[in-house]
């Protein structure tokens, strides 16, 4: 056979094989190309804890919102029924009865019932982490009255109880109990499945865990039997990614390998990506503020006059204008978009003459300026939030003008959380954003200034004030909203008098995102509760 004949024969055989494959492919797959899954990838500072009894920061709250269903759900303006279809409350505000929707499925296939709701509250309170501080002073008992009725009995009234239940994420009791590890810290409940829930879920939310790598990501996929309606084109998968490098995020955005950036990109990066076709930048009020938290039990900040001197020396205008353009200046301890904010509290502003007067009134005068090296102030900023370094530099420059020395320390978030959990290891000042956990001023007042939250990352002030504690508890126990808000106002005045915190600016989260993502929050329709901005129920991935 000639070479030419051999080539022709091989081509003929190849053609026949191709036709056979095509024919069988048509029979087996009916000529259809498998549908491509849509993926929403979003960046976050890390770590992310997906156990409802553990997570409470921004990334964790976002994961919980998508993996679980809360008892009630927040909207832009109100609380609406969710797992609970309706409820009753006793005249004294101490007994709340909730009626559960029938037919809600957990990811396990089991039905969600009242016993799961009661168990979720009891587990949260027993473990005592995450959002447990909201309920710990109030809940006396949680009981399933019947299959679809749950009753919470409170020791004392809790005015914003209904609003706070956006943080009661319902877990599958049987699923949790089937994964407990013994022995553990909780007696017969072992470890309460906390180890298992680091990388798995027991929820009924629109997404279920697909894969978790604790240091890197949380992958979630659509739960096909989700009981609530979702928007068309909702993502098939959501991927929460640990991203702490602005240049990396920029590259991922340009390559369409990231749909929504983290909220921590510097302004210069945001401006550069905003010029790229197909990428927009969204500005979203976060319901929180940027705080410089002063350790009131650590010298020299244990002197109120030193704290006031620092508050008058700081250049708020420069930070707002050049580092966080578009973010409103803080108007007290509470962001102005939060219900219960007081519009008439006094605020600090830069006045170097007043700063010097306050220093002279302190017990550390004149040594604090003659030998400032003996009174050096250590300020820690979060390594995952580059813009905070600029805030730290402005702070150090301002303090130098009144004779104080600042040591600026770049600190990873996990390390910062660890430091703030101990009065001895907490630095003089930390730069941290804190947002409301439910849409009322009481949320931030409690998490920022009540003694029971002192070990959390949400406060570094260590006020440990019985007076403040009682004022907060009294306000939260007030059922009448107008009276409760008036008490919130009194607390805000008192906080400003004690001057434990520099309130810098209200947090405006800025995200770069792909224009093929139809994102309500990016279009100005936002829920002022941390973690609910990136809710897969409401986000669409359009063809692209």
Sign of CA dihedral 322, 326, 330, 333: negative
What tokens were used for 409?
């320390």
Q: How far apart are CA 108 and CA 110, in angstroms?
A: 6
H or E element that contains 444: helix 441-449
Q: Which residues pair with 289 in a beta bridge?
A: 434, 506
Q: How many CB atoms lie within 10 A of CB 322?
A: 12
Residue-wise pLDDT tens digits, 406-422: 999 999 998 999 999 99
Q: Cα-atom radius of gyration of the chain, to the nearest Å?
A: 27
What tokens were used for 21?
């494959």
* pLDDT confidence of residue 3: 41
Q: Which residues pair with 220 in a beta bridge?
A: 209, 238
Under a CB-based contact definition with an 8 Å cutoff, are residues 170 and 69 in contact? yes
Under a CB-based contact definition with an 8 Å cutoff, are residues 205 and 196 in contact? no
Residue-wise pLDDT tens digits, 2-38: 444 443 444 444 444 444 344 444 444 444 555 689 9
Predicted confidence band of residue 438 (pLDDT cuts 50, 70, 90): confident
The structural domains of the chain, ordered by start, are: 69-177 (3.90.76.10), 205-278+515-541 (3.40.190.10), 287-507 (3.10.105.10)
Q: How far is CA 82 from the centre of its chain?
A: 21
| Mean pLDDT computed over 380-407 | 96
Q: How far apart are CA 212 and CA 199, in angstroms?
A: 5
Pairing mode, if any, of strands 406-411 and 517-518? unpaired
Using the predicted structure, report yes or no on whether residue 168 has a pLDDT greater than 50.
Answer: yes
Q: How many CB atoms lie within 10 A of CB 353?
A: 8
Buried b (16+ CB within 10 A) or exposed e, 461-495: bbbebeebbebbbebbbbbeeeebbebbbebbebb
Q: Cα–Cα distances in Å, from 531 out to 66, 67, 235, 277, 372?
A: 9, 12, 17, 28, 42
What tokens were used for 405?
């020395």
What tokens were used for 446?
């409690």
* pLDDT confidence of residue 57: 86
- Which of the two residues, 267 and 109, has the higher pLDDT score? 109
Among 291, 285, 286, residue whose Cα is nearest residue 503: 291
Residue-wise pLDDT tens digits, 50-92: 999 999 888 999 999 999 999 999 988 889 999 999 999 999 9
Q: Which residue has the tokens 């707002």?
A: 320
What is the CB-side half-sphere exposure of residue 286 using CA atoms within 13 A?
26
| Mean pLDDT computed over 311-315 | 98
Under a CB-based contact definition with an 8 Å cutoff, are residues 404 and 433 in contact? no
Q: Is 33 exposed, middle or buried (0-12, 13-18, 19+ CB in 10 A)?
A: exposed
* pLDDT confidence of residue 15: 40
Q: CA geometry: angle at 434 spanning 326 and 380, to 5°?
A: 95
């Amino acid at each position: 056979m000639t070479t030419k004949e051999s080539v022709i024969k091989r081509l003929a055989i190849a053609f026949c094989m191709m036709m056979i494959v095509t024919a069988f492919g048509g029979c087996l797959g009916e000529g259809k190309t498998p549908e491509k899954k849509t993926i929403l990838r979003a960046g976050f500072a890390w770590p992310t804890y997906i156990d409802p009894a553990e997570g409470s920061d921004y990334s964790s709250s976002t994961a919980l919102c998508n993996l679980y269903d809360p008892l009630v759900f927040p909207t832009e303006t109100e609380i609406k029924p969710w797992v609970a279809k309706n409820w009753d409350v006793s005249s004294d505000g101490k007994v709340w009865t909730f009626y559960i929707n029938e037919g809600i499925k957990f990811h396990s296939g089991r039905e969600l019932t009242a016993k799961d709701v009661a168990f979720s509250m009891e587990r949260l309170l027993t473990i005592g982490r995450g959002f447990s501080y909201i309920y710990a002073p109030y809940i006396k008992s949680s009981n399933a009255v019947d299959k679809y009725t749950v009753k919470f009995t409170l020791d004392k009234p809790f005015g914003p109880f209904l609003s706070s239940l956006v943080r009661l994420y319902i877990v599958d009791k049987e699923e949790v109990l089937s994964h407990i590890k013994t022995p553990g810290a909780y007696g017969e409940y072992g470890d309460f499945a906390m180890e298992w829930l680091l990388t798995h879920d027991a929820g009924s939310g629109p997404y279920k865990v697909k894969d978790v790598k604790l240091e890197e990501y949380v992958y979630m996929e659509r739960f096909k039997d989700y009981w609530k309606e979702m928007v068309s084109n909702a993502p098939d998968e959501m991927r929460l990614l640990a991203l702490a490098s602005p240049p990396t995020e920029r590259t991922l955005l340009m390559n369409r390998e990231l749909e929504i950036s983290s909220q921590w990109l510097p302004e210069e990066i945001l401006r550069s990506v905003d010029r790229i076709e197909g990428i927009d930048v969204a500005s979203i009020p976060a319901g929180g503020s940027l705080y410089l938290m002063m350790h009131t039990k650590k010298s020299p900040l244990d002197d109120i006059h030193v704290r006031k001197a620092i508050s008058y020396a700081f250049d708020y205008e420069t930070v707002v204008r050049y580092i966080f353009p578009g973010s409103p200046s803080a108007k007290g301890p509470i962001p102005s978009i939060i219900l219960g904010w007081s519009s008439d509290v006094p605020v600090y502003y830069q006045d170097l003459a007043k700063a010097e007067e306050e220093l002279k009134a302190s017990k550390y005068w004149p040594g604090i300026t003659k030998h400032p090296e003996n009174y050096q102030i250590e300020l820690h900023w979060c390594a995952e939030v580059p813009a905070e370094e600029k805030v730290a530099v402005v702070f150090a420059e301002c303090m130098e003008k009144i004779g104080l020395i600042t040591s600026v320390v770049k600190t990873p978030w996990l390390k910062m959380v660890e430091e703030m959990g101990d009065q001895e290891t907490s630095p003089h000042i930390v730069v941290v954003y804190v947002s409301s956990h439910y849409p009322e001023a009481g949320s931030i007042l409690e998490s920022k200034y009540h003694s029971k939250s002192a070990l959390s990352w949400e406060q570094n002030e260590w006020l440990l004030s019985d007076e403040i504690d009682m004022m907060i508890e009294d306000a939260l126990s007030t059922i009448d909203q107008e009276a409760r808000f008036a008490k919130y106002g009194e607390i805000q005045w008192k906080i400003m008098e004690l001057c434990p915190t520099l309130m810098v600016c209200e947090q405006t989260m800025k995200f770069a995102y792909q224009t093929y993502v139809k994102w309500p929050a990016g279009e100005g329709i936002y829920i002022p509760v941390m973690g609910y901005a990136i809710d897969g129920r409401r986000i669409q991935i359009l063809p692209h």
